[in-house]
Chain A
Amino acid sequence: MARNDWASNLALLLLGGAFAIASLQLNFGTVHRPGPGFLPFWTASGLILVASFSLARALVEFQRRKSAQGERLFDSSVLNVIATVVILAAYAIGLEWLGYNLSTFALFIFLFKVSGFRRWLNILIAAFLTTSLSYLFFGSWLGVRFPKGFLAF
């Protein structure tokens, strides 16, 4: 069991707790005639049980290895991940307002920059081509109706 497992176990324990509480607010039914909350409650209880057991083990392990040099779960390369998630979230939020073509063009400028393209002209050309081709493929050929945005474009 990894040193950092207590965090994931705790998160799953809380998630199980939230589902268990929400299940109790549903019609639980009876053992002989279960309602919509019956199986979710027992499933959530199972998750709580396993997560609690794992959390206890992970905490013991954490204490034991506290002084030792533990493995690092995240290093500086996580910044790439965070930046990509932030830009994806911004893209999802901006997609309706900016429309598919503009927002996808902007997204690809970022992604190609992250992926190591050096020259801005190359980045702009690659982003333009990818956006246009994806629109032709998905929008025109497969008939996906993309959001047009405030420019109706």
Chain B
Amino acid sequence: MGFLQGFEIAFQLQNLFYCFVGVFVGTLVGVLPGIGPSAAMALLLPITYNISALGAIIMLAGIYYGAMYGGSTTSILVNIPGEAASVITTLDGYQMAQQGRAGPALGIAAFGSFIAGTISVLGLTLIAGPLVQVALKFGPPEYFSLMALGLIILIHLTGGSVAKGFMMGLLGLLLSFVGLDTITGAPRFNFGMIQFMEGIGLVPLMMGLFGIGEVLINLERPEERGHIVTAGYKGLLPSVKDWKDSIGAILRGSVVGFFLGVLPGGGTTISSFAAYGLERKISKHPERFGKGAIEGVAAPEAANNAAVGGSMIPLLSLGIPTNGVIALLLGALIIHGLRPGPELLEKNPDIFWGFVASMYIGNAMLLVLNLPLIRVWVQILKIPYRLLFPLILLFTIVGSYSMQNSLFDVKLMIFFGVAGYLLRKFNYEPSSLIMAFVLGPMLEEAFRQSLIISRGSFHIFISRPLSLAFLVLAVITALSSLAPVLRRHLRSG
């Protein structure tokens, strides 16, 4: 089983359908401000219960990279980013739209996304297989150190307060410990409630934090609806000059996005900012940026799409999520009985290669979807949020209930919804919590297995070169997070 057979599987009618649904819904949530890919993946998770594991991962991943495409539409036409990863696109995209060049801006965003998406999936195809061979040599100490590194980098890069990031990570770990201990079978933190014996469900937790939490926070805000630029989006094909100006930015954005996607803690938002910064830095006319430079649209849109393919590499080959959305995808795979990591390629090569091949198809579908359907997306932009939120609430309720036909899960989800709302109010980042929650059981298992192997010696974590390297990087990252805080403290005191 290899890459070409993956295409045979991905081209099966049902898988094409799931791919289409994923990228369509992804574009839709990308277009609509107020609903992110995390919330959309959480909302659609229940629909995947009745379909194959491959269909589920194809659809959920489609939502992720589809949202990256869709996010640019709102950035360019309304000056409101549909996604955090498209924030930077507003700077030049909206300027282009106001100058009557919305069409080329939308066109280059779509073509750039397609080119970058394809390059990054090519990178995924080439790198994931060999990396699996390396990962097969990993033992529990390497896994523990790598997961610790991933968590610390994510906390470091989530933005805002480092202390808040750490607290979210630690809380996520604590919540993951609820339920039966995987090694001794002892019940932990169930507070006498039988429903907690199997632990806190990922579905009520993420639906509450992302679905209900986002709805509640949006209910508080006055509806943001900027002026939709409807003029000049008919000629979507960029001119030869536009291509000349953009192709370098697209290729550089693809490389930057891909590598930042692979790194733990990297992601679409960081990639888009980094690619934009790079373009402005190397440009002969940096003063054009922010005033409608087409490279300012091409580079970040290419980078955020490339980051998606990059972030799939650690997930598929090591079983480690590099950001919050990928953590959700990992959780969904576990719900479907799959354990991403080196074993996935060995035991389920059909799923591995079928999924990789589906990403090529999905990227092509998005190009076809985005350009001709631009009028539809513009109409969707006009739907007020107040009409959407009741439907989002319905999806979250049914989604959390249908996993185990459990009313307790619905109540739990509402509880986490309120928690998610309060976390946002106090500027905490729930994605750190989710990532720690998903990694928690694996982290603990690897930690305790390492100590069993070494007969209780912590030396095992530093005596193995890879484990030591990961830990050193984790310590450097943690110290670099604390450095600004210490500097401020020293300066003030």
Contacts and interface: CB of A to CB of B under 8 A. Distances in A.
Interface residues on B, range: 35 or more
Nearest to A141: B50
Interface in B409-460: 410-411, 414, 417-418, 421-422, 425-428, 444, 447-448, 451-452, 455-458
A89 B183 CA distance: 36
Contacts, number: 149
A74 B451 CA distance: 48
B197 to A, nearest CB: 14
Contacts of B177: 39-40, 43
Interface residues of A, number: 63
Contact of B163 (A32, A54, A143, A147): A54
B166 A147 contact: no
B407 A115 contact: no
A interface SS class: helix
B12 interface: no
Nearest to A111: B390
Contact of B390 (A77, A81, A112): A112
Given A31-B456, A32-B456, A142-B402, A5 B426 contact: yes
A50 B174 CA distance: 14
B185 to A, nearest CB: 9
Contacts of B161: 1, 54
A12 B407 CA distance: 27
B219 interface: yes
Contacts of A19: 174, 189
Nearest to A47: B170
B171 interface: yes
Given A8-B426, A32-B451, A144 B398 contact: yes
Contacts of B418: 85
Q: Is the interface of B mostly helix, strand, loop or mixed?
A: helix
Contacts of B219: 77, 80-81, 84
Nearest to B173: A43
A81 B189 contact: no
Contacts of A85: 216, 414, 417-418
A30 B456 contact: yes
Interface in A14-63: 15-16, 19, 22, 26-27, 30-37, 39-40, 43-44, 46-47, 50-51, 53-54
Contact of A36 (B188, B386, B422): B188
27 contacts: A5-B426, A7-B426, A8-B426, A12-B171, A19-B189, A26-B186, A27-B186, A30-B456, A31-B456, A35-B186, A39-B173, A54-B161, A54-B167, A73-B426, A77-B220, A78-B220, A80-B220, A85-B216, A88-B393, A88-B397, A92-B411, A104-B394, A116-B386, A134-B398, A138-B402, A142-B46, A143-B50
Given A39-B447, A51-B167, 6 more contacts: A19-B174, A26-B186, A85-B216, A107-B393, A144-B46, A146-B401
Per CB-CB distance, the 4 closest pairs between chain A and chain B, nearest first, are: A32-B456, A36-B181, A111-B390, A115-B386
